[in-house]
Amino acid sequence: MKTQWLTVPLLALCAALPVWAAECPAVLQGALPELRGKGQVDLCERYGGKPLVVINTASYCGFAPQFEGLEATYKEYHGQGLEMLGVPSNDFKQEDADSEKTAKVCYANYGVTFTMTKEQAVRGKDAIPLFVELARQSSAPKWNFYKYVIDRQGKVIASFSSLTKPDDPAFRAAIERALGR
């Protein structure tokens, strides 16, 4: 009798797991290491059902000053539900191998408050699943500071090149659309 008492709840829990995974869009499957600390960012848990901007970044890129505009955009729209995720990458040979130096650039130099991960591959055969799915839905980043706007259902509704600044009207319009306006 005791075995049955424990088995039924465990079976119910196990049966529910695939449903939860099926509800999480492909772009949000998995976890990434936080830039600061030893924790993991569970993408589905953190961003599921929320509009999201994903940016591949690099500390030593000429576009790094866009961190300021991205932070301003995040602050402007975060209260309305927008999330932002920065993913440093050395795919274009402009990121430091030392995570602490990357963190200094992001947090101390540019005042970033949105979530940043440790360095990840964003292109080619070594690309992490997040960027494989972003490329499938749109295109792979062609350089650092490529921006993806993702709606609440996990669909890329727009992507923008490095040349697109965070205050660009088309970028802002895509964010507004992701917010459901």
Examine the pLDDT at 11 and tell me if it is beyond 80. Answer: no
Q: What is the CATH number of domain 25-178?
A: 3.40.30.10
Domain parsing of the chain, residue ranges: 25-178
Mean pLDDT of the chain: 89
Q: How confident is the model at residue 22 (pLDDT cuts 50, 70, 90)?
A: low
Mapped onto helix, strand or coil, the DSSP state of residue 1 is coil
94 has a pLDDT exceeding 60? yes
Q: How far apart are the C-alpha atoms of 122 and 138, rounded to whole Å?
A: 13
pLDDT above 90 covers a percentage of the chain that reads: 83
In the predicted model, is pLDDT for residue 18 greater than 50? no
Amino acid at 89: S
* 8 A C-beta contact, residue 36 and residue 107: yes
pLDDT 10s digits, 130-179:
999 999 999 999 999 999 999 999 999 999 999 999 999 999 999 999 99
Contact 78, 112 (CB under 8 A): no
* pLDDT given at position 4: 52
Cβ neighbour number for residue 26 with a 10 Å cutoff: 14
pLDDT surpasses 60 at 20: no
Instruction: Name the DSSP letter for residue 157.
Output: E
pLDDT for 178 = 97
Distance CA 34, CA 169 (A): 30
Give the pLDDT mean for 78-85: 97
Task: Please determine, for residue 2, whether its predicted confidence score (pLDDT) is greater than 60.
Answer: no
Q: Which two tokens stand for residue 176?
A: 């507004």
Which residues form the catalytic set?
61
